[in-house]
Amino acid sequence: MPLYSDLQEKADLLKSGNLSLHENVSGFLTRINDSDLNSFTSAFESESLSRADEISRKSRSGSAGKLAGAVIAVKDVIAIEGKHLTCGSAILKDYISPYNATVIDKLIREDAIIIGKTNCDEFAMGSSNENSAYGPVKNPLDHDRVPGGSSGGSAAAVAADLCDAALGSDTGGSIRQPAAFCGVWGLKPTYSAVSRYGLTAYASSFDSIGPLAKNLNDLELIFDVISGYDDSDTTSNPELRQNRPSDAPFTIGIPDEYVAGIQNKDLLASLNEFRSVAEKAGHKVISVSLPNTQYAIAAYYILACAEASSNLSRYDGVRYSDRKSIGSGLSDMYLTTRESGFGKEVRKRILMGTYVLSSGYYDAYFTKAAKVRRLISNDFSEAFRSCDLILTPTTPDTAFKLGEKINDPLQMYLSDIFTVSVNLAGLPALSFPFGNDSKGLPFGLQIIGPAFSEKTIFSALRNIL
C-alpha cells in the first residue's frame, strides 16, 4: 500500500515528520536499479539523496516549496545542466547540457527532486519507444508490449512506481499515447503555455512539454509549477489560463468522426461508460463534428517532418554530435556522421521532410498541409461553439506487442490517429485511464479543451470521476 495518495499528502507527511524522504528516494533508486524495463537512461543517485536531506530540513522549518519531496523523472530530450542530453540518439551519446531547461529550474525552485533521465524514441520520433539507440522500453503492465512513445520511458517509470511523476514532450501524442498504454495520466498543455526553452526541438510549432502522473491532483500541481510566461522562449504566451467553477455543468462533445473510427468494441464500451458517468453527474453530452479529421495524419507527418529536417540539420559533427572521420573531405564527414549517428526512423523522417520542402513539391505537399492545419483548427473552434470540452479515445487500441508494428510504418503512424489533431490546433488535451480490454490492458480517454483551458479540463474531470 502506498505511503501517500498524492504529492500534497507526501509534502504534508514530510512536514509532520511522518515520512523519511531519504528512505523514500532510496527506495525509488533501488527500484530503478533493479528494474528491467529500460525506462531510464541515467539515474542521479548522489544528487537525489543530497537533495532529499536538504528538502527535509526545509520542510521541517516550513520553508519548502509546492513540490517538496516530489520525485520526478525527466524525458531525455529536456536539458539538465551537467547531465547527458542524448535524445535517445547515438549522435548525442556524449553530449552534456551546459544549462537547465526552464521547466527544470521551476521544478527545482519548488523543491522537486530530479531523479534521472528517461528513455525515449530517438529525437521523440516514434509511437512505441522501440526507436531508441539505448534499446526499447517495456510496458510495466506486460513486458512483451510497448509502453507507447515517444515518452514511453516516462510513462513506464510512473506506472512502475520508479518515480512520483515525470516530464515528457508531446509533438503528435507523445505524452498521451504512452500514458494510455501504461494506465497513467498525461497532459499535453496548450502550445506556448509551458516554456520550450531547453527542449530539444523535433517540430518546433508542435512540441509541448507536459507532466505524466499517477492521478489528477499531481498532474495539475506539476502543470501549475511548470506553466507560465518565459522570456527565454519566443513562443511563450503570457495569457492567463481560463478557469471554470468545478460545480458548473459542462457540455461535452463527442466527435462523430472519431466514433466512426473505433473498431475495438471494448474501447467503444469504455467511451459509452464515461458518457453515462458524465450524464449521471449532471453534465450534457452531445455529438459534434470535426470533418477534416481524416486529413490529420497526412498533414501532421508532412509538417512535422519538414520542421524536423530543418531542426536536425545542426547535427553534422561540427558543433554538435559524435563526429566521424573527415575521410576525403568535409562532405564525407557530414555524411558519415549523420548516417552512423541517426537511426532508421529519424533518417526516414528527415528524408521525408527534405522532400516535401524541395522545389516543385513545396506547394504540392507542405503548403496544402499547412492549409489543412488551419481547417482542423477551425473545426475545433466551430465545435467549441456548442460544447465546453471534447471527449475522444486517446488511442485506437491498447498497447501492442514489441516488434508488432516496427516494420509497418503506416500502422505505427495510425497509432496517433486520435492525438495529432490536437497538436495541429495547438490545444490542451489530457489522457486518463478509463476501462480495460478483454486482456485487462488499460484504455485511455482524452479530454480536449479550447486554448488555455487546462483548469476547465481539471475541474470537469474532478467533478465527473
Catalytic residues: 75, 150, 174
Element (H, E) at 351: helix 344-357
Rounded to whole angstroms, the Cα distance separating 444 from 172 reads 16
Dist. CA 193–CA 222, nearest whole Å: 13
Q: Which three cell numbers stand for residue 142?
A: 506486460
User: DSSP per residue over 124-176, as a string?
Assistant: G--SSS---TT-PPPBTTBTTB---SSSHHHHHHHHTTSSSEEEEEESSSTTH
- CA proximity to 128, closest of 144, 151, 106: 151
To 10 degrees, what angle do helices 7-16 and 216-226 make? 80
- Dihedral (Cα; 202, 131, 47, 187), 10-degree rounding: 60
Place of cell 498521451: 176
The Cα–Cα gap between 120 and 156 comes to 11
Dist CA 173 CA 325 (whole Å):
37
C-alpha cell at 189: 498543455
428: left (phi over 0), alpha (psi -120 to 50) or beta: beta
Pairing between strand 208-213 and 251-255?
unpaired
